[in-house]
């Protein structure tokens, strides 16, 4: 139990046994942090620091940073930069967050992480000083509350995350707010929002409290950050983040939206009421309409209840601190995908609340808060022998249950502090606007959810191959008796490590191929033999020929077809091989004559079709050896045709959308491609001669990488519908409806 230490200006001396107990617990917590967090973090890269480091390094080297949100492209760059971690991903991080490690991006990854860890220790120390400045708590107790967040602190250091810096910035903003420096409080929150988006939601808090200077400071800060981002990264990169990444992030559709590890309301409702063949095969029921209704209802009810408890009137300094802590807690509770490291900001809320309760001698409430706070920041409780299926999913959301319980304690603290009587708090003047806001939030949320979910589940019945737990399946290529594709299967699957492999699906069985690096983008003749693939290692990417008859194809035993080459494509007759050769991340297109692709065939060299000024992204052959490719020109993607005989390249005047992933049909009559429509990529087919177009998909998600079946009647494509952004599965689609 915490006893007050504040009878005079600062601290009152507490009993010896209390000081000794608190000091002993603090030492234990610090030792646990060192043993489980700082020391392992110092020795190993882990994730997620390599994500920030890699993007910062690529930015320093002049690579096109809008491509960092492409899972495969970023993994390839990780290999080339010799970063010794199995997997990287930058979704949904902001680009400015990578700039935080830019000063050390010229060092080796582990050296850079060492510097980042030292800086984070300094951030933590400055945060403690600020907390001491805004409270009357003894530094020992501030430190104790900080290190009670043992798992969030451990994970923040272990993974090299940004959340310690975010905690510092939000704490500094709170300090300025309590000192009535409202404008600069908003500005500091805007800086925090450039690293992690959620501090920008304090704009709601400021507007509700009618602290307009703080709101203006936040708006000015966000506007300035936007202009700086446009200057540093380009308007197209910023547009990509706002249109494609941010909306899916706000809906909780980034890294596996069904993962119980998120322990959020959104993840729980998805686990219960939305099925997904690979990621969530056993919900209570597949009821998207129920999810669409419950999601805004639950979130809206919690939001309105807490804002009602906070109140719009400005109270004394003590109540203002409680309100800041409560709103910060509310943002965490409503977050769609909070990792354990997000909860380091709960330190600020805990210190502010406990400071108030101890000062007012509310020991029962203080003790309840501390116990629940410690449990939230402790390890997740998992019941052995219970699988996350059906209603059993509820047993996997212990942190969420504790967060709801802590929210109840905060309401227990806040509501009695209102100057109005209970009758006035519940009269029609207050309750009707609150009910109206809730109804409005539910209505808007339901309509928005239904619109977003419309058509997202249509591909379930046409899934080509289902690999339980598969994170990504993409780059399909159809043969006469099967299908090749690239896939990422997480290490949670027994005997599988986190790496990209090439898979062959044939006769209801799956075989994988990968040795010596990440294997991407298979290319095969129509009979499936031989096959080509891009192998990415720390010495770069190369296109190699391998035999699908053997699952183990050591790189030194495969035939190298092209060095410094990516994304192979083989013509239908097996005579030509095209590939992309990058220059600082911008692709040039090349073709190599490979005869019939038979072992021992003498190749006739390679020739360049386009330079890197085109920034070629994907290419495809027609049966007559003409090519179609996508290239980024003047801020959008366009399709081009290349006559290999004459060397003439012609920009296609249609489609007029930003278009990628072209695929020529085996009969030579059609082109399939993906068209960007309001931030979602949709499959289209177009007659090669008349330019008549037909749109085949229209859900609010991405459908990419189409591949024709050999009869030119169907397409196999990659879709992230009802999954996380870029986490695609393979489905079949009729090309003519």
Classify the C-alpha dihedral 334-335-340-345 as positive or negative.
negative
CB 537 within 8 A of CB 517: yes
Domains belonging to the chain, first-starting first, are 259-453 (no CATH), 460-734 (2.120.10.30)
CA distance 686 to 703: 16
**How many of the other CB atoms lie within 10 Å of CB of 626?**
17
CA distance 87 to 89: 7
Q: Is 455 left (phi over 0), alpha (psi -120 to 50) or beta?
A: left
| 15-33 mean pLDDT | 88
Least confident range of 397-401, 432-436, 522-526, 643-647: 432-436
Q: Is 164 left (phi over 0), alpha (psi -120 to 50) or beta?
A: alpha
E-state strands within 387-492: 472-478, 483-488
* Nearest residue to 545 via CA among 526, 570, 564: 570
| pLDDT of residue 544 exceeding 70 | yes
The per-residue pLDDT for range 197-223, each reduced to its tens digit, is 999 999 999 999 999 999 999 999 999
The per-residue pLDDT for range 33-53, each reduced to its tens digit, is 999 999 999 999 988 899 999
The per-residue pLDDT for range 568-619, each reduced to its tens digit, is 999 988 899 999 999 988 999 999 998 754 454 444 678 999 999 999 999 9
Report CA 577 to chain centroid distance, whole Å. Answer: 35
pLDDT value at position 703? 96
The per-residue pLDDT for range 338-380, each reduced to its tens digit, is 999 999 999 999 999 999 999 988 999 999 999 999 999 998 8
Q: Strand pairing partners for 580? A: 566, 589
The per-residue pLDDT for range 117-165, each reduced to its tens digit, is 999 999 999 999 999 999 989 999 999 999 999 999 999 999 999 999 9
Q: Which long-range contacts (CB under 8 A, 24 or more apart) does 100-103 make?
A: 100/52, 100/162, 100/165, 100/195, 101/49, 101/52, 101/53, 101/56, 102/56, 102/59, 102/60
Q: What's the pLDDT band for 325 if we cut at 50, 70, 90?
A: very high
pLDDT value at position 170? 98
| pLDDT of residue 295 exceeding 90 | yes
* 566-570/680-687 β-pairing: unpaired
């Amino acid at each position: 139990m915490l006893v007050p230490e504040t009878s005079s200006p600062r601290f009152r001396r507490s009993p010896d046994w209390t000081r000794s107990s608190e000091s002993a617990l603090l030492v234990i917590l610090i030792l646990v942090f060192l043993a489980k967090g700082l020391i392992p973090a110092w020795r190993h890269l882990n994730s997620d620091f390599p994500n920030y480091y890699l993007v910062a390094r690529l930015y320093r080297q002049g690579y096109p940073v809008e491509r960092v949100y492409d899972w495969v492209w970023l993994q390839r760059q990780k290999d080339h930069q010799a970063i010794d971690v199995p997997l990287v991903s930058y979704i949904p991080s902001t680009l400015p967050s990578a700039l935080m490690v830019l000063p050390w991006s010229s060092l080796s990854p582990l050296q850079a992480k060492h510097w980042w860890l030292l800086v984070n220790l300094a951030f933590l120390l400055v945060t403690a000083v600020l907390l001491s400045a805004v409270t009357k708590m003894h530094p020992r107790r501030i430190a104790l509350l900080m290190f009670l967040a043992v798992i969030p602190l451990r994970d923040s250091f272990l993974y090299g995350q940004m959340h310690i810096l975010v905690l510092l910035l939000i704490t500094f903003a709170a300090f300025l707010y309590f000192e009535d420096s409202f404008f600069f409080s908003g500005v500091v929150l805007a800086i925090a929002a450039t690293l992690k988006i959620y501090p920008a939601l304090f704009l709601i808090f400021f507007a509700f409290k009618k602290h307009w200077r703080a709101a203006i400071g936040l708006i000015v800060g966000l506007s300035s950050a936007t202009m700086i981002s446009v200057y540093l990264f380009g308007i197209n990169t910023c547009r990509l983040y706002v249109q494609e990444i941010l909306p899916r992030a706000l809906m909780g559709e980034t890294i596996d939206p069904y993962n119980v590890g998120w322990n959020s309301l959104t993840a729980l409702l998805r686990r219960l009421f939305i099925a997904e063949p690979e990621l969530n095969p056993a919900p209570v029921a597949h009821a998207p309409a129920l999810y669409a209704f419950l999601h805004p209802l639950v979130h809206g009810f919690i939001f309105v209840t807490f804002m009602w408890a906070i109140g719009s009137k400005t109270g004394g300094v003590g109540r203002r601190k409680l309100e800041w802590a409560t709103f910060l807690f509310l943002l965490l509770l409503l977050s769609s995908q909070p990792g354990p490291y997000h909860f380091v900001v709960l330190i600020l809320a805990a210190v502010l609340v406990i400071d108030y309760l101890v000062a007012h001698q509310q020991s029962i409430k203080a003790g309840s808060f501390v116990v629940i706070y410690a449990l939230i920041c402790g390890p997740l409780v998992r019941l052995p022998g219970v699988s996350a299926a059906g209603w059993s999913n509820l047993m996997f959301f212990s942190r969420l249950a504790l967060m709801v319980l802590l929210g109840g304690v905060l309401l227990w603290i806040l509501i009695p502090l209102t100057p109005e009587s209970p009758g006035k708090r519940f009269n029609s003047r207050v309750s009707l606007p609150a009910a109206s806001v809730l109804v409005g939030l539910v209505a808007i949320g339901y309509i928005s959810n239904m619109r977003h979910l419309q058509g997202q589940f249509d591909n379930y019945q046409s899934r080509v191959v289902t690999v339980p737990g598969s994170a990504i399946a993409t780059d399909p290529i159809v043969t006469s008796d099967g299908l090749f594709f690239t896939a990422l299967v997480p290490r949670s699957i027994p005997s599988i490590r986190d790496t990209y492999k090439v898979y062959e699906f044939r006769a209801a069985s799956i075989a994988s191929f990968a040795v010596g690096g990440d294997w991407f983008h298979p290319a095969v003749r129509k009979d499936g033999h031989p096959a080509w693939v891009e192998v990415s290692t720390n010495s770069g990417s190369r296109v190699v020929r391998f035999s699908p008859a053997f699952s183990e194809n050591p790189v030194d035993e495969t035939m190298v077809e092209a060095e410094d080459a990516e994304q192979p494509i083989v013509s239908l007759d097996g005579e030509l091989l095209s590939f992309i050769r990058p220059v600082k991340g911008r692709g040039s297109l090349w073709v190599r004559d490979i005869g019939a692709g038979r072992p021992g065939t003498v190749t006739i060299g390679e020739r360049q079709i386009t330079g890197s000024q085109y920034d070629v992204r994907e290419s495809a052959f027609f049966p007559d050896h003409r090519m179609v490719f996508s290239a980024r020109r003047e801020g959008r993607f366009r399709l081009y045709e290349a006559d290999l005989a004459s060397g003439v390249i012609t920009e296609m005047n249609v489609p007029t959308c930003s278009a990628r992933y072209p695929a020529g049909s085996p009969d030579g009559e059609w082109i399939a491609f993906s068209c960007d429509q309001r931030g979602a990529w949709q499959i289209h087919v177009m007659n090669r001669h008349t330019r008549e177009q037909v749109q085949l998909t229209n859900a609010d998600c991405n459908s990419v990488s189409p591949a024709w079946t050999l009869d030119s009647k169907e397409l196999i494509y990659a879709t992230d519908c009802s999954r996380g952004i870029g986490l695609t599965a393979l489905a079949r689609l009729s090309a003519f409806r």
